[in-house]
């Protein structure tokens, strides 16, 4: 994919994060594209409204993706996310077999932006580190320096 298409799709993931926020959830969003770049699925964070600590956008997306597509197809897909996947989400992405991850805001930039907030206790572990320990390769592109990726968090966290 081209950098401009990556940025366009990250913009869409950030729009999903805004939707999650409007719906009363943490501001995170993700989408899955097929090998041709067409959007297949979208998912937002649902931690608050579903009362599910695993309801992160990427994990929700991987639940949907693994129900609809086989691992061979998913290995050719790309997951776009507004913020770097946490360790749990990286595991779900890996187990689901997605071949590429693209993210806007890094986990460390998120932490710097929001500080300590009990609603988002950070794990200081980059997704690249998680994927580096896996048997199958997952390509990671990010962070992309997009102001909108920061803006969706402003005023949400107490940090």
> What is the set of active-site residues?
58
How far apart are the C-alpha atoms of 65 and 85, rounded to whole Å?
Answer: 16
């Amino acid at each position: 994919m081209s950098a401009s298409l990556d940025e366009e799709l990250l913009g869409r993931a950030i729009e999903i994060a805004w939707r999650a926020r409007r719906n009363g959830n943490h501001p995170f969003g993700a989408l899955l594209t097929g090998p041709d770049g067409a959007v297949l699925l979208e998912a937002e964070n649902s931690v608050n409204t579903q009362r599910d600590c695993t309801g992160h956008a990427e994990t929700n997306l991987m639940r949907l993706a693994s129900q609809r597509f086989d691992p061979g197809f998913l290995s050719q897909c790309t997951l776009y996310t507004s913020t770097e996947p946490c360790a749990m989400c990286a595991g779900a992405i890996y187990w689901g077999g997605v071949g590429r991850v693209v993210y806007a805001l890094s986990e460390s930039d998120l932490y710097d932006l929001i500080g300590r907030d009990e609603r988002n206790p950070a794990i200081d572990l980059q997704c690249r580190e998680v994927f580096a320990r896996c048997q199958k390769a997952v390509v990671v592109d990010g962070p992309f320096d997009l102001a909108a990726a920061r803006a969706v968090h402003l005023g949400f966290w107490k940090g």
